[in-house]
Chain A
Amino acid sequence: MEDFRKHFSVFLTFFTPTAGWLVLLFFVPLGIIWVYSFGENISLTEIKTTWTLDNYKRMFEPQIITLFWRTVWLSTLSTIITLVIAYPISMVIATASNKAKPWLMLVIILPFWTNLLIRTYAMLNILGTRGRINDVLEWLWNLGDGALDLIGLGAFDLLGEHFAPIRFLGNNSGVMIGMIYVYLPFAVLPIYSSLERLDRNLLEASLDLGAGQWRTFRSVLLPLTSAGISTAAVITFIPMLGSFLIPNLLGRGKVDMIANVIERQFKSANDWPFGSALSLFLLYITFIILAIQAFANMRANKGRNDG
């Protein structure tokens, strides 16, 4: 490894295609976006780079602030719910027998192999007012209503006059359910791997010293898997922030997140400079989150070494 300096031509041969690829497909477009973000529309198709800051100033317009705020809280809440669901799932996999483990893992990873678009359409089918969930609820409603009739309370319409389906689509709940469903596997994997690495004797030691299950969970299991939890949080939160398809389809265009507004700037609104500024802003937020996590990890490691 260390003698790539000596064999510079070999190094170049291998490095150039990769680097070229990266420059061509990542840094060049990013640079263009960056330049655009300081531009102005001068006609329908022309953008002039005037190095204006107007596109960034527009971030502070109330409706954009509202948009960011909605994006952040939807993603935050969805991330928290995802973690709460992912933790017990990870525990089940980590404690399963060696025979069952690969199968359970497969069930978790399987959705990865299916196109996101297809999965989101499937969610439409499940969550719709005439979707599968409401089918089950309606069946339960009929059952309950029939039972009430049977015991002579039918006349009071205790469960309502007729079945009212729950609306998931076109509101926050549908978008959150969609995001949680899609990003759950991302959360399960890091938590599972941190559970897998944990020495089981530590949990037994806690029990042996008199702690109950809950106390052991809180004082030993949770702190010792915190690295996995924080990784899970970051790798679900960041893509959630940039969600486009899920709010678009499950939100029925009524629940905008940043990415939907960005898309509109590049298409119907035809305001590429503002779209570019929004995109970069999203990128900066992502960088800040990653930096905070890296910093927190560094501190945790340092704390361990210094006592």
Chain B
Amino acid sequence: MAPTPIISVHDVCKYYGNFTALEGISFDIKPGEIFVLLGPSGCGKSTLLRIIAGLETESKGDVVIDGTDMLGIPANKRPVNMVFQSYAVFPHMSVEANVAYGLKLERLPKAEIKAKVAEALEQVHLSQFSHRMPDQLSGGQRQRVALARALVKRPQVLLLDEPLSALDAKLRDAMRLELVKLQESVGVSFVMVTHDQSEAMAMADRIAVLKDGKLRQLDSPTALYKNPCDQFVADFIGRINMFDVSSHTRNGDAVQFDTKTLGTVTLPASLMPANTRNLAIAVRPERVRVGLEQPAAEMIAVTGTLGDVAFQGDSSLVEIILDGERSITALATEAQAETLMALEIGTQVYANWQPKDMLVLPENASE
């Protein structure tokens, strides 16, 4: 039996006037997981998080936290706490007072508050800053205050709205790891909002991909990468080479796809999705090989000229220019990249891959 969900969101909709910010969102969050809401800016991620926190009221649907329907329960009575995008650290209180704020409201004994605050500050490595005022802290430190202030309340779920977006790149990478470690040590579920797919991939147990207020796909990072349900998800999660299909015909176990760039491509029918509207066929860069000789007949191949080779350490991104506008990206290993880099830009090359490595994707799986 699956563990009972700690949060259950059922058919939640949110309307601002006649603008639909969220529509028919349903999912369960398991105890102890890092659940990421991922999507482009303006897709409704923050709104959804704020509905769970009780800071915004859903127009329709319900939110159940730990078995209790949250309808009509205000933010200050919900067993969840939030880390705001702007951190919202109280500027007129010291670090210690910020963290103690939520505990004082629980009317705990003074000594207990002090001990809990000290422990929380220890957890986020801020012990020596406990008497500082927020404007004497760096952005990263202020974020830790916000984290400690929320975690010290021992919430069932910690809600984080773009927690890393205000940090500089280097700190951001370090904080990804640290947040994951923190989650493991405290054991509460994290629901995190981000628009950064690499952040989501690196941290999440499961990712819900949102677009224009609708849930497109909910899966583990690997499943999202390997089996994206539609063109939006495939494009949003990682790099992909996508080719629009103008028409397709089915011949028993095979389907023929007509594309502008690749011509007619025949793929096994098992790759066909349920929804077949506005199909595209696609291949990930790491599946694409680049060679100087004509590839074998069973490979899907396209001729182009060598473009930029972008060095990335253990691998390189290779651009193959097909005509004026279109190009294909391939991911080359270190050894392959070295041979390619020895060539002159503009040399004719063959980009090729196996039919089974292709994905067949509808424009929008839920339409």
Chain A interface bracket (under 10, 10 to 19, 20 to 34, 35 or more): 20 to 34
Closest chain A CB from B83 CB (angstroms): 9
Q: Within 8 Å CB of B91, what residues of A?
A: 202, 224, 304
Closest chain B CB from A194 CB (angstroms): 13
Q: Within 8 Å CB of B132, what residues of A?
A: 307
Closest chain B CB from A224 CB (angstroms): 6
Q: Within 8 Å CB of A224, what residues of B?
A: 91-92
Asked if residues A208 and B136 are in contact (CB atoms below 8 Å), the reply is: no
Closest chain A CB from B184 CB (angstroms): 24
Cα A215 to Cα B102 with chains together (Å): 11
Asked if residues A209 and B131 are in contact (CB atoms below 8 Å), the reply is: no
Q: 1/0 contact trace for B104-148 toward A, CB 8 Å?
A: 011000000000000000000000000111011000000000100
Asked if residues B101 and A209 are in contact (CB atoms below 8 Å), the reply is: yes
Contact A209-B84, Cβ < 8 Å, known A204-B55, A307-B131? no
Contact A206-B101, Cβ < 8 Å, known A201-B86, A307-B133? yes
**Inter-chain CB contacts under 8 Å: number:** 70
Contact A209-B136, Cβ < 8 Å, known A202-B88, A223-B92? no
Asked if residues B136 and A307 are in contact (CB atoms below 8 Å), the reply is: yes
Cα A195 to Cα B69 with chains together (Å): 34
Cα A212 to Cα B146 with chains together (Å): 19
Q: Within 8 Å CB of B47, what residues of A?
A: none
Contact A208-B53, Cβ < 8 Å, known A201-B86, A307-B131, A307-B132? yes
Question: Counting CB contacts under 8 A, is A207 at the interface?
Answer: yes
Asked if residues A202 and B105 are in contact (CB atoms below 8 Å), the reply is: no
Q: Which residue of A has the minimal Cβ distance to B77? A: A210
Closest chain B CB from A213 CB (angstroms): 9
Closest chain A CB from B363 CB (angstroms): 37
Q: Within 8 Å CB of B131, what residues of A?
A: 307
Asked if residues B92 and A307 are in contact (CB atoms below 8 Å), the reply is: no
Cα A307 to Cα B129 with chains together (Å): 10
Question: Counting CB contacts under 8 A, is A137 at the interface?
Answer: no
Question: Counting CB contacts under 8 A, is A46 at the interface?
Answer: no
Question: Counting CB contacts under 8 A, is A84 at the interface?
Answer: no
Cα A223 to Cα B77 with chains together (Å): 24
Contact A215-B105, Cβ < 8 Å, known A207-B75, A304-B135? yes
Q: Within 8 Å CB of B82, what residues of A?
A: 204-205, 208
Q: Within 8 Å CB of A212, what residues of B?
A: 76
Closest chain A CB from B108 CB (angstroms): 12
Q: Which residue of B has the minimal Cβ distance to A204? A: B55
Contact A199-B94, Cβ < 8 Å, known A204-B75, A304-B135? no
Q: Within 8 Å CB of A28, what residues of B?
A: none
Contact A201-B92, Cβ < 8 Å, known A206-B101, A209-B102? no
Q: Within 8 Å CB of B206, what residues of A?
A: none
Q: Within 8 Å CB of B149, what residues of A?
A: 205, 209
Question: Counting CB contacts under 8 A, is A211 at the interface?
Answer: yes
Cα A210 to Cα B82 with chains together (Å): 11
Closest chain A CB from B50 CB (angstroms): 8
Asked if residues A207 and B88 are in contact (CB atoms below 8 Å), the reply is: no
Q: Within 8 Å CB of B92, what residues of A?
A: 223-224
Asked if residues A201 and B84 are in contact (CB atoms below 8 Å), the reply is: yes
Closest chain A CB from B63 CB (angstroms): 15
Q: Which residue of A has the minimal Cβ distance to B135? A: A304
Closest chain B CB from A286 CB (angstroms): 29
Question: Counting CB contacts under 8 A, is B57 at the interface?
Answer: no
Question: Counting CB contacts under 8 A, is B216 at the interface?
Answer: no
Closest chain A CB from B103 CB (angstroms): 9
Q: Within 8 Å CB of A223, what residues of B?
A: 92
Partner of B153, one of A207, A209, A215, A219: A209
Asked if residues A204 and B88 are in contact (CB atoms below 8 Å), the reply is: yes
Of A199, A208, A211, A219, most buried by chain B (CB within 10 Å of CB) is A208
Closest chain A CB from B191 CB (angstroms): 14
Closest chain B CB from A216 CB (angstroms): 8
Cα A220 to Cα B75 with chains together (Å): 16
Closest chain B CB from A195 CB (angstroms): 15
Quick one: which of A201-248 are within 8 Å of B by CB? 201-202, 204-212, 215, 219-220, 223-224
Cα A196 to Cα B131 with chains together (Å): 29
Q: Within 8 Å CB of B86, what residues of A?
A: 199, 201
Asked if residues B74 and A208 are in contact (CB atoms below 8 Å), the reply is: no
Cα A72 to Cα B150 with chains together (Å): 47
Q: Which residue of A has the minimal Cβ distance to B85? A: A201
Q: Within 8 Å CB of A220, what residues of B?
A: 90
Q: Which residue of A has the minimal Cβ distance to B94? A: A307
Asked if residues A201 and B102 are in contact (CB atoms below 8 Å), the reply is: no
Question: Counting CB contacts under 8 A, is B81 at the interface?
Answer: yes
Asked if residues A209 and B133 are in contact (CB atoms below 8 Å), the reply is: no
Cα A223 to Cα B150 with chains together (Å): 22
Q: Within 8 Å CB of A208, what residues of B?
A: 53-55, 75-76, 81-82, 150
A selection of 12 A-B contacts at a CB cut-off of 8 Å is A204-B88, A205-B84, A207-B75, A207-B76, A208-B53, A209-B81, A209-B105, A210-B77, A210-B106, A210-B153, A211-B76, A211-B105
**Nearest 7 A-B pairs (CB), nearest first?**
A209-B102, A201-B88, A205-B88, A210-B105, A207-B75, A201-B84, A208-B82
Given contacts A204-B82, A210-B77, A210-B102, 15 further A-B contacts (CB under 8 A): A201-B86, A202-B90, A205-B90, A205-B149, A207-B54, A208-B75, A208-B81, A209-B81, A209-B102, A210-B76, A210-B105, A212-B76, A224-B91, A305-B135, A307-B133
